[in-house]
Structure 1
């Protein structure tokens, strides 16, 4: 069994780690700062609509958990309720504080790098790895493509990966405590945190924890206690994520359009490479590091502890899953539901965490080995790997610099990243900057996405094109405003009596519709394939008010979530005070 050495986790070392991780996070982003460039990429407009909607709700005081009152063309479509509402709210606060898209993107990207580094450092230190090796592992992790692609293309799995190392704290605890291997809060809180950020990252965490759990269960002395603590951990995660599950229940009566399926999965799987890291390439440094770790695991298998064997084996397995060694296209052709996973390269973030942790533990053990207890050798090894980590950060710096150049070009936004409304590049830049309101940007460019729209037909149709036609490019001259009770009011004029109009607003199963002050039953109106309201109205000016009526189950879930957070906060304050009092003694 691997013996976790007792290393003093001093405040000075923690401070050094925070400063170094913060400095490198800033340096990786620095080209974007001095070029004063916005990086508008594939997913930027989708997520910015989410955050803009909530930031405006904060500013105006008009709160609606489900409907988009300000984002997504004020269409009332539901996104945040299904896509990490809690974390979107935090991002909205950042946007409201800093007030411009440029400042927001810089701060949000900086925090993603910083959190990823701190999370990885915390994991390695919790495994009792020396400060220096922990810091190098953290620098490696924060410079992986998985993290960097939030800054480069606003891929939100980067934020999920930033918190993912925390989900493996319970793994370390399992091997430290054989009598009672599961600590409910230590397992439940990270899972709840991931649920509030990125659902697929939560799935990855659970899948990766299963092998460790099975091994621990069969070696545990008290299996009943372990089962009880596991159920408590699940209970904690559910309580802290009650609003998420409540929203899913509320929308279970709707057939929602899933994020698009990727047909060419092989193009989005990982491969070893000798250049800089990319979307589907590991790059020279991480190719070397992971191959080195895999080979050393095989060569030194008998010398490794059970913990190291399992850690490296699971890491190698997830690296294999993410790779082109798996015939993903052939598998997806047989089992089409796999295409909804979209990108096999997402598995690589688990491999990064586990293999880096395995590497750090291996380096720690080598430094403690009397047969190679040579300070010169240890220093050379440390300098070598620290240099690789810094070069890896420099690679990200160069990629961000290259991506930043597009903003000052004649094509600041690529066509595939947005629906271009304003063709003049200078006007596009002005729409995103200066003293213009944040919403001005969406009048210059927008993104046609269909995620979580309701589907009202079994027939195949182009969801993105339909959304663009019915919502973004709707030709009806409609005036929209938000009512005092947080609903969307649409006013337009009919030139003919009983004229049928398709309005740019989305109707779900629990959506309420009023026409000229009278509530309509579902039989009184129709909806399009994606839920756009189709309604007959008299000649002249007409007003439709669209709201959302959440179920009692959802309302109860909000109460449970708030109470759970209050209990957790109280527990945390008491634990901190107890710890501080103990240290003073």
Structure 2
């Protein structure tokens, strides 16, 4: 069997996986867990999903295990299926250290393979496609999952797969749209990161318009695109159901605001991560854009991906008038937040163009000059070195007195740094979340009487939830309910560390409460009438039957798609081997 393996086909994938291993090597050698800016937020929601699976006690909307067991809504509006899949991984590996290593390897490998496939699809040679993949793995948002646990990294990893569908629209005039691949990649990213979905959709539009203009069978292309969109809606019915359920009856707090210009792409001679465009990419992209503009031998596909990639790169950079745009459209501060996010599409587009041009120049060369290979190797090393250095420095922080790489928006309750270090390697990942808590205001409700007031929700969340939840006993009951118990020495009203929405139901001391019988704070924490002695409060999110139907529709759609995929695989590979 091994003799029959065509190693020249497998080798690029092995090298991509080797690069992924090399990139996490500093963290493995130092045996460190990197707790970056978004780590505690994602750890909480992944832990909540893992505990739901472990106890087979599901609560799609209400958070009963993570986020101080406050009952707030997070996963239903933020990558629910991704959270559950991550929860399965956490159950299998048991510690945050192992979870981080494996998930980081996955991000790098998926992104690298996607970039290799994209460049290869555009007829780049395997060597050049491999170089493009290795460069892509070391720049932009892709390293940010391992370095800071930014979910944009998953969008960056999946972007080349989306571009495979986009480029097919302008290069394959006979079959510009394949329904299942297009629907699948869009559904996957919707289940992970909504903002990346919006960026993907905006980029797909020009490819669709150009492809529609070029193809002879315009009606067929439109028909297949509509079918792909409908299939995507079916697969992600749970997401749309969640948004309809929550936003129809609740006013939800906006995410934190960021200055757009300060979070746009900047130019750097050394770095090449997130906000910096390093020297290697600057030279490659500039040369590619100039070549496309002056050469008459450039293919239409190369010209389209390069011009579009260059335009998006310009929009992502601080050269774009973000100050003016922020003044005209202030809501972008809390929705877009980071203009540099556009590089998740700009980079793979430009690397694809570079691979096409490099292949064209390489095939038209005279002789086989060694400097082609040396130049490619130097470019990869120059991108790899700062990435590995960044990983090593962040991994080293774990062994310092700080332990955490980012202290932004966190409340640390550990007595010593060793407590945090131990919790990151513990086989009970919930330990960490009791020692380091995140003041994260996203998706908190805004009661009607407070909607015109301006206040810092993260500070209020810390005072009302983080600082008080240990004074209560929390217990998760069957049916996704959450019970709080406490002792009171007087009869009055008390604010409890829970978050309620319009669909939330409260039962106090065995009696259901109406909304008129309790008040709400400015972040939706209930203030209930307590009695002297023992008090019991049960929180339950009443899930509408309409959403339940949409969730079932989504799960059935994924099951059917998986079944179709397995049948096709079996008929194409397994059955053929049996016959032979």
- Verify same fold: TM over 0.5: yes
Match of 1:63, SS state, is coil
Q: 2: CA distance between counterparts of 1:476 and 1:134? A: 54
Change (3 A) 1:75 1:14: farther
8 A contact 2:20–2:109 mirrored in 1: yes
Corresponding residue to 1:110 among 105, 111, 115: 105
Of the structure 1 ranges 419-428 and 543-552, higher mean CA displacement relative to structure 2 is found in: 419-428
In structure 2, what is the equivalent of residue 310 of structure 1? 304
In structure 1, what is the equivalent of residue 162 of structure 2? 167
Q: 1: CA distance between counterparts of 2:507 and 2:9? A: 58
In structure 2, what is the equivalent of residue 484 of structure 1? 478
- Displacement, 1:531? 0.9
Q: 2: CA distance between counterparts of 1:170 and 1:476? A: 50
Match of 2:433, SS state, is helix
- Displacement, 1:227? 1.6
Match of 1:251, SS state, is helix
- Displacement, 1:52? 0.8
Is 1:545 the counterpart of 2:538 in the alignment?
A: yes
In structure 2, what is the equivalent of residue 195 of structure 1? 190
8 A contact 1:268–1:279 mirrored in 2: no
Q: 1: CA distance between counterparts of 2:9 and 2:521? A: 56
Is 1:260 the counterpart of 2:256 in the alignment?
A: yes
Q: 2: CA distance between counterparts of 1:224 and 1:567? A: 27
Is 1:383 the counterpart of 2:377 in the alignment?
A: no
In structure 2, what is the equivalent of residue 509 of structure 1? 502
- Displacement, 1:417? 5.3
Match of 2:483, SS state, is strand
- Displacement, 1:45? 0.4
Corresponding residue to 1:445 among 436, 443, 451: 436
- Displacement, 1:176? 3.6
Q: Could you tell me which runs of 5 or more consecutive residues in structure 2 were left unpaired when the two chains were aligned.
A: none
8 A contact 1:528–1:534 mirrored in 2: yes
Match of 1:288, SS state, is helix
In structure 1, what is the equivalent of residue 566 of structure 2? 573
In structure 1, what is the equivalent of residue 554 of structure 2? 561
- Displacement, 1:305? 1.7
TM-score, with normalisation over the residues of structure 2? Answer: 0.94
- Displacement, 1:530? 1.0
TM-score, with normalisation over the residues of structure 1? Answer: 0.94
Q: How does 1:161-560 map to 2 (within 5 A)?
A: 161-252=156-247, 253-262=249-258, 264-300=259-295, 302-340=296-334, 341-369=336-364, 372-374=365-367, 376-377=368-369, 379-413=370-404, 414-416=406-408, 418-434=410-426, 437-456=428-447, 457-458=450-451, 459-474=453-468, 477-497=471-491, 499-560=492-553
Q: How does 1:68-83 map to 2 (within 5 A)?
A: 68-83=63-78
Q: 1: CA distance between counterparts of 2:24 and 2:66? A: 27
Of the structure 1 ranges 506-515 and 383-392, higher mean CA displacement relative to structure 2 is found in: 383-392
Of the structure 1 ranges 512-521 and 541-550, higher mean CA displacement relative to structure 2 is found in: 512-521
> What is the alpha-carbon root mean square deviation over aligned residues?
1.8
Q: 2: CA distance between counterparts of 1:471 and 1:226? A: 52
- Displacement, 1:357? 0.6
Per-residue CA deviation, residues 479-513 of structure 1 (Å, 9 max, x unaligned), is 1101122210001122212x101000110111111
Match of 2:276, SS state, is coil
> How many pairs does the alignment contain?
568
Q: Could you tell me which runs of 5 or more consecutive residues in structure 1 were left unpaired when the two chains were aligned.
A: 1-9
Of the structure 1 ranges 305-314 and 476-485, higher mean CA displacement relative to structure 2 is found in: 476-485
Q: 2: CA distance between counterparts of 1:168 and 1:577? A: 27
Q: 2: CA distance between counterparts of 1:130 and 1:359? A: 12
Is 1:26 the counterpart of 2:18 in the alignment?
A: no
Q: 1: CA distance between counterparts of 2:68 and 2:345? A: 37
Is 1:154 the counterpart of 2:145 in the alignment?
A: no
Match of 1:408, SS state, is coil
Corresponding residue to 1:49 among 20, 24, 44: 44
Q: 2: CA distance between counterparts of 1:61 and 1:229? A: 39
In structure 2, what is the equivalent of residue 7 of structure 1? none
